[in-house]
Amino acid sequence: MTKKLNDRELLDLALKCNRCGTCQDVCPTYLITGRETDVARSRIRLIRMVAEGKYAWGEEAELSEHLKSCLLCKACVTACPSNVPTDEIMMHARNEINNVKGMPLFNRIAYRGIFSHSGRLALLARLLRLYQRSFASSLVRKSGFLNLLRNYGKAEALLPPIPEKSLKARLPELIRTPPQVKHTVVYFAGCAINAFYGRFGAATIEVLQHNHCRVHAPAVVCCGGPHLSGGDFEEARELARNNIDTILHLQPDAVVSDCATCSGIMKEYEKLFENDPDYLEKSRTFVAKIRDVSEFLLEIGIEKPSGTIDATVTVHDPCHLSRGQKLADAPRQLLAKIDGLKRVEMEDAEMCCGGAGSYGALHPDASRQILARKMTGYDQSGAHYLATSCPACAMQLEFGLRHHSLEGSVVHPIELLAKAYTHIPEAS
Ligand code: SF4
Ligand code: SF4
């Protein structure tokens, strides 16, 4: 995620890889297939061959496939002794392939066509809710029609129960002026939270207001994360400009997000504007204000919740929070403030769940294999709650519970905090 690199600059990055193989131990795609072509080292080698002129971008379908099958989970980046930025290299490679072959149809429809327009995503969510609650859904499933759609048909199973109202429609009833305002914040309502997980946003707004924050929730657009992962830098830049302009004029103390992907992506906006002096300075001001909600609450020092929760929780680390922002400990510290709540660690808590934005829809078989490992860890933990700070992970984990017939609830850590403040069960 940066300015466009030429082949020489990309080659210099690829040449940082000394082929030590450390990434084999942590790369989820390699761990499920055991194939050398599915690990960071091999993906980097393919890019090096293109940058050296042995292949042309998009020429080899197989080569493109190995670059697209990367989750961008950063596990290799964190483990790599040579600091090879594999995720950034992958996004550049996808950008180059788009330039030659055109953007994939899925990206054009889902990212530019829907995610770039929050109204369209909200409309789609309403239609999907109608579908979920009608006879059509069971008819479609039984008819075998979904099998004809192949991978896209499998994506239907990932959908969580869609709430009646989007978060944005609920904002007037959620936002109030708290007594003794100490902080003014913008709450960034990300696309997935707005359409599918309004309960996360409602809990975040409640907890912020409980801790003396005046909350603004302006009409923002997608953070640009899906576009960047698909190598669509141009659209991501446009969305970033829009968010910067919408938010900065409100002069908040902080911009708070309860979606690890949104906060992680927005913390890197500056890199998008290295060649745009007008927005470079603005993006720096903007980035300095971005906080993941757990990070922000620890920073301001929250009131201890008076309620108790007699249950056990385990945490799944979203890649964008633990590796992207190095904040793995923040949600755990918040949960430790709740009396009665026992926290246990599950095996592979830090490993990607296989959701990775649209990965579950585009690579359902690999995604489900990666998820199975995560679900085994959760099952063995014995926890009632599986807490995660990202709606895309939540969607994947909820699917995992259904698919593996496991008991338990997927929650955002902030939902448990809100419950401990208000003594009411978290909203469904
Ligand atoms: S860990 Fe880094 S240097 Fe080692 S093979 Fe993987 S990408 Fe290359
Ligand atoms: S970003 Fe994740 S999936 Fe991609 S090569 Fe690195 S470890 Fe593997």
Q: Is the CB of 119 under 6 A from ligand 1?
A: no
With cut-offs at 50, 70 and 90, classify the pLDDT of residue 355.
Answer: confident
Q: Is the CB of 40 under 6 A from ligand 2?
A: yes
Q: Is the CB of 29 under 6 A from ligand 2?
A: yes
* pLDDT attached to residue 141: 62
Cα 266 to Cα 7, 213, 286: the distances in Å are: 26, 21, 8
Mutate to test the pocket of ligand 1, among 15, 16, 22 (most ligand atoms within 8 A of CB): 22
Residue 17 alpha carbon to ligand 1 centre in Å: 5
Give me the torsion for CA of 247, 253, 257, 262, rounded to 10°.
50
CA angle 270/257/215 to nearest 5° reads 115
* pLDDT attached to residue 3: 61
Percent of the chain at pLDDT above 70?
93
| Residue 182 burial (10 A CB sphere; 0-12, 13-18, 19+) | exposed
* pLDDT attached to residue 198: 95
Q: Is the pLDDT of residue 427 over 50?
A: no
What three-state secondary structure class fits 342? strand
Cα 405 to Cα 66, 103, 197: the distances in Å are: 32, 37, 22
Top-confidence residue, 359 or 286: 286
Q: Is the pLDDT of residue 310 over 80?
A: yes
Structure tokens at 348: 């592979």
Residue 350 alpha carbon to ligand 1 centre in Å: 19
Top-confidence residue, 385 or 364: 385
Q: Is the CB of 44 under 6 A from ligand 2?
A: no
What's the predicted TM-score (pTM) here? 0.90
* pLDDT attached to residue 213: 97
Instruction: Ligand 2, residue 23: give the atom nearest the CA.
Output: 7
Q: How far is CA 261 from the centre of its chain?
A: 4
Residue 44 alpha carbon to ligand 1 centre in Å: 9
Q: Which ligand is nearest to the CA of 43?
A: 2
Domains observed in the chain: 7-101 (1.10.1060.10), 167-299 (1.20.1050.140), 305-422 (3.40.50.1860)
Cα 349 to Cα 41, 177, 318, 377, 405: the distances in Å are: 24, 37, 9, 8, 20
Top-confidence range, 44-48, 295-299, 353-357, 424-428:
295-299
Q: Are 219 and 149 in contact (CB under 8 A)?
A: no
Strand partners, 184: 214
Q: Which ligand is nearest to the CA of 26?
A: 2
Mutate to test the pocket of ligand 2, among 20, 29, 69, 84 (most ligand atoms within 8 A of CB): 29
With cut-offs at 50, 70 and 90, classify the pLDDT of residue 152.
Answer: low
Closest residue by Cα to residue 61 from 73, 52, 69, 51: 69
Residue 98 alpha carbon to ligand 1 centre in Å: 26
* pLDDT attached to residue 426: 46
Q: Is the pLDDT of residue 99 over 60?
A: yes
Q: Which ligand is nearest to the CA of 82?
A: 1
Closest residue by Cα to residue 69 from 354, 286, 415: 354
Q: Is the CB of 18 under 6 A from ligand 1?
A: yes
Q: Is the CB of 336 under 6 A from ligand 1?
A: no
Mean pLDDT (the chain, rounded): 89
If you take atom 6 of ligand 2, which residue's CA is the nearest one? 76
Top-confidence residue, 426 or 407: 407
With cut-offs at 50, 70 and 90, classify the pLDDT of residue 69.
Answer: confident
* pLDDT attached to residue 216: 97
Round to the nearest angstrom and report the end-to-end CA distance of the chain: 36
* pLDDT attached to residue 147: 60
Top-confidence residue, 271 or 68: 271
With cut-offs at 50, 70 and 90, classify the pLDDT of residue 137.
Answer: low
pLDDT, mean of residues 144-173 = 77
Q: Is the CB of 41 under 6 A from ligand 1?
A: yes
Q: For 188-262, list the strands marked E by DSSP.
A: 213-216, 254-257
Q: Is the CB of 28 under 6 A from ligand 2?
A: yes
Instruction: Ligand 1, residue 39: give the atom nearest the CA.
Output: 6
Top-confidence residue, 287 or 274: 287
* pLDDT attached to residue 363: 85
Q: Is the pLDDT of residue 145 over 60?
A: no
Q: Is the CB of 246 under 6 A from ligand 1?
A: no
Residue 404 alpha carbon to ligand 2 centre in Å: 25
Q: Which ligand is nearest to the CA of 66?
A: 2
**How many whole angstroms separate alpha carbon 415 and alpha carbon 199?**
8
* pLDDT attached to residue 106: 80
DSSP letter (8 states) at residue 339: B
Percent of the chain at pLDDT above 90?
67
Q: Is the CB of 51 under 6 A from ligand 2?
A: no
* pLDDT attached to residue 39: 94
If you take atom 4 of ligand 2, which residue's CA is the nearest one? 70
**How many whole angstroms separate alpha carbon 195 and alpha carbon 220?**
13
Q: Which residues contact 249 (CB under 8 A, 6 or more apart)?
A: none
Q: Is the pLDDT of residue 151 over 70?
A: no
With cut-offs at 50, 70 and 90, classify the pLDDT of residue 397.
Answer: very high
**How many whole angstroms separate alpha carbon 180 and alpha carbon 340?**
29
If you take atom 8 of ligand 2, which residue's CA is the nearest one? 27
Residues 220-259: pLDDT tens digits?
999 999 999 988 999 999 999 999 999 999 999 999 999 9
Query: Which amino acid is residue 428, in one-letter code?
Result: S
Q: Are 320 and 390 in contact (CB under 8 A)?
A: yes
Residue 91 alpha carbon to ligand 2 centre in Å: 12
**How many whole angstroms separate alpha carbon 158 and alpha carbon 132?**
12
What three-state secondary structure class fits 201? helix
